[in-house]
Amino acid sequence: MLLPAALAAAASLFAQTPPCQNTPIYTPCEFVFELTASEAAAHPNPYASVEIRGEFRSPRHRTFLMPAYWDGGGRMVIRFTPIDPGDWDYRITSNITRLDNQLGHFTAATADVPGFVRPANMHHWATGENNQPHLWMGDTCYRFGLIDRGTFDQILDARAKQKFTHMRGLALGWNADLPKTFPSANQPGIACFRELDARILAINRRGITVDLVLGGDANQLTRLFPEAQQRERYLRYMVSRYASMNVTWQLVEEFESYDDARAVLKELGQALKQLDPFGHPRSTHAAATSAPLLADGWMNYVVYHSSNDALGAIEHQLYPVAFVNTGFAYEDSGAGRALPHDTDLDTFRHGLWNATMNGQYPTFGNTGTAGSKTIPVDAKYAESPGAKVMTAWFDFFSRTRHWELEPYFDVDGGRCIALEGVEYIVYVEKPGTVEVAIEKHNYDIAWFNPQTGESLQQKDFKGERYVGEPPDKSHDWVLHISREGRKEGMLRSYKFTSREYPLMLQEVEQNVQKTPYEMVEPAADTLKVNAPAKFAVRLKRQTRATRNMMYLWTGEATASGRGYRVLGSGAEGTFRIPPSIAGDYPAVMNLRVAAMNSLGKVYFVDKVIRITR
């Protein structure tokens, strides 16, 4: 029971109605504190010196610690979201004596809401704590908090109608935006953050999660916040403003562009993991893959920015986390192209479906709405052909058990994901004969047109090996082999899982006697960074399994502790070793060629190479 003095103090702070009283679950509410004149005089920069925290105890006896954020002048705010219905207790602590050790309680109301997004089923996503599957389909709008409000509203309205479930963007904008968003290390741009608050809440109200990138590329965060204490204060500020909303965290844009990137990201990631009481999903954007940082323990999903199918397909076999691809391709719908991954519609669609076959969830990019550094945002591009392709993709997978699908390899003529015995989805990029080994049951057969979203039903099939061809050869197709009646029954009896989790990851074969290929290039034992070097493998034996091999080339200067970097892919080609792979030179690099055969078996072959500048 609260002491009378504590009750009186809480009443004096918050008048008669406690903050958050009757707030529906998963809805943010606010505790507002105004510094007195003497308190403000003692703390001329509240952002840097005022500490206020709320410790919230749920009806299920879970504790959430939420810091306050400075909101201009003498205004401090604790923004909190109750996630359990029922009676909550809280305690306010502060370095402001008047506010310290205040106690109170409120009651949170029930609500029919999905809850926050979280990783589930090893490679997939769910919402809340009730195991409801979540189909991640993202959009990119880097400057969503800074573009004209009318333009933002038009893009948001379009994306909601197009069924996007995520929107990705920068919290601080690009470097040119910093004078407005964060003029100096201890001075957030309050007007910009209030607008960002409003826009994230608007996005959440449309049922869309915000994938918030906390820093730009090329050392933006370490230049703005050169000291570790400043970086931690910034993270605390972002958590206090946005952790109570439906967000995921992506620490920085292209982490590889940061000096000593792994150490910086480990510092930031571990601080974020500790600060966020709701445990929102954490990763970072990458020029290729963020998987090299998984071993540091703070990250719980991987972000790609790559159309390299060897990279995505092989890493899916190695890591027990969900994968999101933000850059399999960007659609140029008329705004122009600034980067190599800006493509035509057909290339974009092929990239989307191949990324899906790699086991990745897609994030859309349109050169006219993404808000890159060189192409301005224009809402007229929101209703683009690529967006319609994304909606067709979403509608298709909404009818599947997408939360249990995994890459499946007993197929010729296409690439497949499946829940064996229930559902097989085969992407046929180059139309021809398709052959799929399946468990013996009665199946519904349909060909899905990824251009239009139309499905053509075929005769039912019973057997153990389906052989067929697409309706025509003018474009790519998707073959859908499913037991629709079985799927309906599964939803009635259990809503989420039918597999046993966690799935077993395979043991990678590294025995040279059992590896069906060998590294023949580079032959030299010493290479220079940034200089072109040939790479090549040679198959030692031809088998059915080696007819279609994927190869991925990576390098790691192990002693530097910076993690590996993707150098190339394919059986042969040319790569350049990035100087950032090591801190000191000369260095020793482990060159690895990973390969996956047509049955999904992964092999490693390594070579130690000396690298110099």
Q: Please write the tens of the pLDDT for every residue from 123-153.
A: 999 998 767 899 999 999 999 999 999 999 9
pLDDT tier for residue 500 given thresholds of 50, 70 and 90:
confident
The H-or-E segment that residue 574 falls in is strand 572-575
Domain 133-398 identical in fold to domain 517-612: no
5: pLDDT strictly greater than 80? no
The top-level CATH class assigned to 403-493 is: mainly beta
Sketch the domain layout of the chain as residue ranges.
Answer: 4-108, 133-398, 403-493, 517-612
238: pLDDT strictly greater than 70? yes
Q: What is the mean pLDDT of the chain?
A: 95
Percent of the chain exceeding pLDDT 90 equals 92
Contact yes or no for 591/553 (Cβ under 8 A): yes
Can you give the pLDDT at residue 7?
A: 41
Coil, helix or strand at residue 177: helix
496: pLDDT strictly greater than 80? no
Contact yes or no for 224/181 (Cβ under 8 A): no
Q: Kindly give the pairing relationship between strand 526-528 and strand 477-482.
A: unpaired
C-alpha span between 562 and 262 (Å, rounded): 5
C-alpha span between 176 and 251 (Å, rounded): 19
Instruction: Give the residue among 209, 232, 216 at the shortest CA–CA distance from 280.
Output: 209
Can you give the pLDDT at residue 490?
A: 86
Can you give the pLDDT at residue 16?
A: 53
Can you give the pLDDT at residue 13?
A: 60
C-alpha span between 601 and 595 (Å, rounded): 8
418: pLDDT strictly greater than 80? yes
Stretch 119-126: mean pLDDT, rounded?
95
Stretch 288-296: mean pLDDT, rounded?
97
Q: Supply the DSSP string of 9-28, one letter for each residue.
A: HHHHHH-SSPTTTTPBTT--
CATH of region 133-398, choose from 3.30.360.10, 3.20.20.80, 1.20.950.20, 3.90.1300.10? 3.20.20.80
Can you give the pLDDT at residue 611?
A: 97
Contact yes or no for 256/580 (Cβ under 8 A): yes
Can you give the pLDDT at residue 131?
A: 75
pLDDT tier for residue 280 given thresholds of 50, 70 and 90:
very high
22 C-beta neighbours (distance < 10 Å), count? 11
460: pLDDT strictly greater than 50? yes
Can you give the pLDDT at residue 109?
A: 97
List pLDDT tens digits, range 427-442. Answer: 999 999 999 999 999 9
C-alpha span between 376 and 373 (Å, rounded): 8
Stretch 377-383: mean pLDDT, rounded?
97
List pLDDT tens digits, range 509-527. Answer: 999 999 999 999 999 999 9
185: pLDDT strictly greater than 80? yes
Q: Supply the DSSP string of 498-563, one letter for each residue.
A: -S-SSPPPPPPB--TTT-SEEEEE---SEEETTS-EEEEEEES---STTSS-EEEEEEE-GGGT--
Give the burial class of 514: count Cβ atoms within 10 A of its Cβ; 0-12 exposed, 13-18 middle, 19 or more buried.
exposed
* Those residues with Cβ within 8 angstroms of residue 433's Cβ, 6 or more apart along the chain or in another chain: 412, 413, 467, 468, 469
List pLDDT tens digits, range 573-603. Answer: 999 999 999 999 999 999 999 999 999 999 9
Residue the block writes with tokens 């391709």: 329
Topology of domain 517-612 in CATH is: Immunoglobulin-like (2.60.40)
Can you give the pLDDT at residue 14?
A: 57
> Which CATH number is 4-108 given?
2.60.40.10
70 C-beta neighbours (distance < 10 Å), count? 24
C-alpha span between 602 and 508 (Å, rounded): 5
State how far Cα 102 lies from the chain centre.
Answer: 38
Stretch 199-206: mean pLDDT, rounded?
98
C-alpha span between 524 and 537 (Å, rounded): 14
